[in-house]
Amino acid sequence: VAPPPQFRRFGNAAALGLVTFSLCTIQEAMMQAGMSVGYGYGYRSMAVQSIAVAGITQLFAGLWQIANGDTFEGAAFTSFGAAWLAKGLADVPGLGILDYQANESPDVVRKQKGIISLTWSIWVLVLLAGNVKSHIANIILFGTLNLQLSFTCAGIWLGHEPIIKAGGWFGFFCGLAAMYNAAAILLNEENFWFNLPV
């Protein structure tokens, strides 16, 4: 449990972590589901967003939460910030990552992506279990995130595009849930007309 506000070294960074996660998750999910530029296109255009917004900013938000004594949010934000940072850096031309993968067979690249999705799906399942005594808005966030990763993993392993697209839709609703959770932290009776229900 995080210490009371008067004993915190930093303010509550959860809203920052949630909104940065939300913004990039919605964008990536829309591309994955084929809602924006079409399935499989536009991911490289997210490199800067992935590095600066969902990567570095979320990483710092996680470290701030650890400093505040909130181990759960610290672990969640820091791990996902690092993942987004890695994803963004992988899409930067000239770093050698894209060139390295270009020399591998498409089947090997597909299986590598499937393994990454599987490991993150397991981690999110742990985070979901850590939220069962939390509020429903948090459970919806981690539940839809787990479904996104699980469907993406299955779709990649089976080479079945409609399953991957379904994962994108779950990711879209996960991003909206994260945005709502951020709003619920920021909008309260001190600066809004009422507390958002969670």
Distance CA 128, CA 143 (A): 6
The answer to whether residue 198 is domain-embedded is no
Structure confidence by residue, pLDDT tens digits, 18-31:
999 999 999 999 98
The answer to whether residue 136 is domain-embedded is yes
The answer to whether residue 192 is domain-embedded is no
The answer to whether residue 196 is domain-embedded is no
How many domains is the chain partitioned into structurally? 1
Measured between alpha carbons, how far is residue 21 from residues 1, 52, 99 in Å? Answer: 22, 11, 28
- What is the pTM assigned to this prediction? 0.84
Structure confidence by residue, pLDDT tens digits, 39-78:
556 667 788 888 989 999 999 999 999 988 899 999 999 9
Structure confidence by residue, pLDDT tens digits, 153-198:
999 888 889 999 999 999 999 999 999 999 988 887 676 677 776 7
> Is residue 33 within 8 Å of 165, Cβ to Cβ?
yes
In terms of phi and psi (left: phi > 0; alpha: psi -120 to 50; beta: otherwise), the region of 197 is beta
The answer to whether residue 193 is domain-embedded is no
The answer to whether residue 180 is domain-embedded is yes
Measured between alpha carbons, how far is residue 32 from residues 46, 138, 146, 184 in Å? Answer: 12, 23, 15, 27
The answer to whether residue 131 is domain-embedded is yes
The answer to whether residue 22 is domain-embedded is yes
For residue 51, the 8-state DSSP code is I
Q: Which domain, by its residues, includes 116? A: 5-186
Distance CA 4, CA 62 (A): 18
